Amino acid sequence: MTRKRLGRSALYVTDICMGTMTFGLQADEAVSFTIMDRAMEAGIDFFDTAEMYPVPPSAKLFGITEQIVGRWMKQRGYRDQILLATKVTGPGHGWFRPEIRHGLTALDRHQIIRACEDSLRRLQTDYIDLYQTHWPDHGTRQEEILSVLTELVDQGKVRAIGCSNETSWGLMKNLWEAEKHDLRRLDTVQNNFSLINRRCESELAQVCRQEGVSLLPYSPLGGGVLTGKYNDGALPAGARFTDYLSQGGPRQQRMARRFVNERTLETTARLQDIARDIGTSVTALSVAWSKQHDFVASTIIGATTVAQLEESLAAIDLVLDAETLARIDAIDEAIPTPMTEDGLRRL
């Protein structure tokens, strides 16, 4: 498995990262342990979690995923063998109100320090390899956020810092503030990036390349859409967007329609033809495509079963040739940005 540096930090990680967003909800603790064991067996040494997990977030389940990961590391004795990433929850920016600390999740000194100490306790460790802000807080001075994160690095509680769900402007603003005030710079940005959401390839990719920041794409399978399970109008029982559409509120239903719509499903159908021609699945194709980008350090995969994990692991040695990449680009030209609001307006 290929290893890449996280930004300008001293950390090198496998180019596939094991995401844990489903642990404690869709996957119980026993299954979660089995999934993490298999990831380690496959050579993955980079694991990503968050205080807000599992998703969808709830006050009842808040912190359970970190607890599961912490117990697994403790029981297996793996802490020094893996690189561990987690996140402090920021504002949900209208998509949701985080049910953490009563929704009071502005990123200030109190919030970050409290969240970090709580994560260390749940994870049963005294350090976090990569600590990320989970949603930005552009209403707080970025200097204050970076100052606190720098303190955590200086104290040895955190090794590197990053952000997630950030804009190109927000990333550049953070980098400028770090340089201006001699603070720790962000080494990573974790954003949604997939074959049905390729927006990172434009402005954000250029920022990453020029400023030495690594993208950590999450949802490379488009929330499961690219597996094909929603094709032909299917709404499989227990699937996230099935639940959002049938039981969720207006915000969850709108999110589901961003992922599951005529344009994303048509993109998936066309990708199935390509995958079939090269003898693989769209799952493996999607993960391989993601990790071949030069500005990507590690692609975050998720799973609720070991069988699902195996489909993603098929991408470990899969390299897409120029002809295959050109065929993929042709689909994007025919059906551009299917997950965007513009795509929804065309329905």
> What DSSP string describes 52-113?
T-SSS--TTTTTHHHHHHHHHHHHHT-GGGSEEEEEEE---TTS----SGGG----SHHHHH
The percent of residues in the chain predicted with pLDDT above 70, rounded, is: 96
What is the structure's pLDDT at 92?
62
Mean pLDDT of 20-45: 97
Task: Tell me the pLDDT tens digit for each residue of 276-325.
Answer: 999 999 999 999 999 999 999 999 999 999 999 999 999 999 999 999 99
Mean pLDDT of 144-167: 97
Tokens read off for 286: 């999607």
Please state the φ and ψ torsions of residue 88, each to the nearest 5 degrees.
-100, 130
218: pLDDT strictly greater than 70: yes
Cite the beta strand spans of 99-168 per DSSP E. Answer: 128-134, 158-164
345: pLDDT strictly greater than 50: no
Task: Tell me the pLDDT tens digit for each residue of 124-147.
Answer: 999 999 999 998 888 888 999 999
What is the structure's pLDDT at 341?
53
What is the structure's pLDDT at 198?
95
Question: What is the DSSP code (8-state) at residue 301?
Answer: E
Q: Which amino acid is at 196?
A: I
242: pLDDT strictly greater than 80: no
| Distance separating alpha carbons of residues 295 and 57, to the nearest angstrom | 30
36: pLDDT strictly greater than 90: yes
Q: Residue 105 — very low, low, confident or very high, per pLDDT cuts 50/70/90?
A: confident
327: pLDDT strictly greater than 70: yes
| Distance separating alpha carbons of residues 165 and 268, to the nearest angstrom | 24
Question: What is the DSSP code (8-state) at residue 197?
Answer: B
Tokens read off for 72: 């697994």
User: End-to-end alpha-carbon separation of the chain, Å?
Assistant: 41
| Distance separating alpha carbons of residues 47 and 179, to the nearest angstrom | 29
Tokens read off for 336: 């551009």
Looking at CATH, the fold of the domain delimited by 3-227+286-318 is given as TIM Barrel (3.20.20)
| Claim: this prediction has a pTM higher than 0.85 | yes
What is the structure's pLDDT at 243?
79
Would strands 158-164 and 128-134 be described as parallel, antiparallel, or unpaired? parallel
Q: Which residues are catalytic?
A: 53
347: pLDDT strictly greater than 60: no
